[in-house]
Chains A and B, each alone.
Chain A
């Protein structure tokens, strides 16, 4: 079983909302569409579901061409950001609703609803109506309704966005467990990089209607194939700056900071490059031997109980550092921080990642 998008494009009027896209999702995978608002995630999901037709291109599900087949004829479930439930039905009736449309015996309905409700901890809520439920419970009901159908394709459009921080955490942790052993393809759209990293699976980074990269989440995070893909993981945002390579040394433009090339980077041509440094690679203490010092003026110090986020300025470049523990650096004071060279990402003048060992 697989979901394949072949050369799918979507134009509305003169505007292109989705540029030519090729994607293939396999059975029993959770696939995350990660991108900022208006990057095209919802449009793409609606095309996958059959709620919308692509301007050109084909959608193949289970080796069958389903382009143009309306959503009612497809075996698809969808969960939205806004806790969509039938307001006049009880929780039980809500979850049972997709089964009632197809003729299934009421015993069988009870059985299936019971199983899904247990999975989502809703067994005590059967007689309640949506307006009596909390936000988290409403969304669980919507999820249960999506799962009870046993559809081959489950689409979730930012389902946790309207939930409290802690509830989001809890439900996010339960999601992988909900989808295992279902023989389905899950597509999950989100703007939060943490969702992608903690759910795992595969991630497709989106930017302005284009899929920038698709692969295992850990790989997309650690080896972004260009600067844009690196920037999509923006919690916290990656530091980027221009560097110059000369002989075996890299140095930051207009700055005295420099370091030696490691591994096969020495073989690169001399010239201008871009580096990406994630905030957790910059700390007020030395993480490894291979670190370079940077001095700057502390602009903002955000100290939570467990982490310190320091915004500082060196020369005319602003940097963000994220470190564990509390480091009460004084605002306005000069500070010395250390950058772990091993974790630098190098991009060429076309903004493509330079792979180095």
Chain B
């Protein structure tokens, strides 16, 4: 197991780069310690798969270095880095049984058949594959095949890091839930460094201890799911994380205080008074907006029942907002008042959180 460091990593798929758009990754600096569960979260095309392939050695970066512990491994092949990768669609050896599939990496490295048998049985047990161990791998369902892919990575006990590239893409939705929880359970059990790439925030936030949000080849924010949720540093993170995402609306900064919908709003961050911005916005998550007797006057537009809670569309002078209430909350009709939880209300200048 290793500490992973990425220094000043940039990558372009083109031979010549004329502008920012030609770079798939720009100036990535990251450090991940041993044994954690990490996620690379971002929309399609943000560079997360490129970054994953650079870490695994399937791609050589245009600029920058990759270190495992203090050793520079940028030029090493995937085999030499001792990593395992699970791809979007299951990759299995069709002609072999489940057992032989799981044994394959160990056989290539020359382990004895006894050791192989014991290890394969252990991993199969962990992944609920013991019943089908001697069946042909090609006969299993998609989630069974993905488990085999995962098993081939786990079966090597000296693996430095296990990487997942949107592994639940082809899995049926009702099995996705089960496999997602299984991956979390696995990490809890074996505690190996795991990096999970996805565009699905539910997968990223429930799996990882630390999430890296990426956008257009750059690292936007890195933190725990709670940090990203409670204090997004960029409006993109605020919008991308949370379902529905953060409400981001224009506001004015007057004398260091935020003015929204004609009234002063209490905010958590202290703006630096002498700085000027071309665009100032206020950000508040739907979870932190609640009905009250006084505050911002709003009109209730629509109530959506999402089963576990209610998502309410409201409108005020400052714009349209969403708020989340528990199922039991009574929704006032006509005009109502809402207040923002000031601890989680922030001002953003030119999309970045202002002040400290």
Contact = CB atoms under 8 A, between A and B. Distances in A.
Contacts of B326: 324
A194 B309 CA distance: 12
A218 B305 contact: yes
B174 A191 contact: yes
Contacts of B229: 304-306
B188 interface: yes
Contacts of A166: 43, 199, 201, 239-240, 245
A164 B226 contact: no
A7 interface: no
Contacts of B45: 134
Contact of B181 (A165, A167, A311): A311
A221 interface: yes
B86 to A, nearest CB: 19
Interface stretch (A99-107, A121-129, A295-303): A295-303
A237 interface: yes
Contacts of A331: 188
Interface string A31-69: 000001100000000000000000000000000000000
Given A165-B199, A197-B304, A304-B206, A324 B309 contact: yes
Interface in B170-220: 172-174, 177, 180-181, 184-185, 188, 199-202, 205-207
Interface residues of B, number: 42
Given A165-B201, A305-B225, A198 B43 contact: no
A235 B306 CA distance: 11
Interface in A331-353: 331
A221 B307 CA distance: 7
Given A165-B199, A306-B287, A198 B311 contact: yes
Chain A interface: which size bin?
35 or more
B290 interface: no
Contacts of B55: none
B174 A234 contact: yes
B45 to A, nearest CB: 8
Contacts of A98: none
A233 B173 CA distance: 11
B307 A233 contact: yes
Interface in B306-334: 306-309, 311, 326-327
Given A306-B229, A311-B181, A197 B44 contact: no
Given A164-B43, A305-B228, A306-B287, A197 B206 contact: no
Given A280-B307, A300-B185, A322-B308, A236 B287 contact: no
B174 A164 contact: no
B225 A303 contact: yes
Interface string A192-212: 111001101000000000000
B241 interface: yes
B306 A197 contact: yes
A134 B309 CA distance: 32
Nearest to B243: A169
A308 to B, nearest CB: 9
A197 B205 contact: no
A300 B181 contact: yes
A162 B228 CA distance: 26
A299 B182 CA distance: 11
Nearest to B199: A164
Contacts of B266: none
A300 B201 CA distance: 18
B240 to A, nearest CB: 6
Q: Interface of chain A, helix or strand or loop or mixed?
A: mixed
Contacts of A169: 243-245
A165 B239 CA distance: 12
Contacts of B180: 302
A309 interface: yes
A198 B188 CA distance: 33
B328 to A, nearest CB: 8
B199 to A, nearest CB: 4
A165 B242 contact: no
Interface string B214-256: 0000000000011011100000000111111100000000000
B184 A305 contact: no
Max chain B Cβ within 10 angstroms of own Cβ: one of A193, A217, A305: A305
B202 A304 contact: yes
Contacts of B184: 300, 302
Contacts of A233: 307
B172 A37 contact: yes
A172 to B, nearest CB: 10
Nearest to B311: A198
Given A302-B184, A305-B226, A305-B241, A235 B305 contact: no
A192 B172 CA distance: 10
B173 A280 contact: no
Nearest to A288: B328
B228 A236 contact: no
B44 A134 contact: yes
Contacts of B308: 278-280, 322
A326 interface: yes
B185 A299 contact: yes
Interface string A144-178: 00000000000000000000111101000000000
B306 A194 contact: yes
A121 B306 CA distance: 27
Nearest to B206: A302
Interface of A: 36-37, 134-135, 164-167, 169, 191-194, 197-198, 200, 217-218, 221, 233-237, 278-280, 299-300, 302-306, 309, 311, 322, 324, 326, 331
- Of all A-B residue pairs in the complex, the 7 with the closest CB atoms, nearest first, are A305-B229, A304-B205, A302-B206, A280-B308, A305-B225, A191-B173, A164-B199
19 contacts: A36-B172, A164-B199, A166-B245, A197-B307, A198-B304, A200-B304, A200-B305, A234-B174, A234-B177, A278-B307, A279-B308, A280-B308, A302-B180, A303-B205, A303-B225, A304-B225, A305-B226, A305-B229, A306-B287
Given A169-B243, A305-B225, 14 more contacts: A135-B44, A164-B199, A197-B305, A197-B307, A198-B311, A218-B305, A233-B307, A235-B173, A280-B307, A300-B181, A303-B206, A304-B229, A305-B242, A311-B181
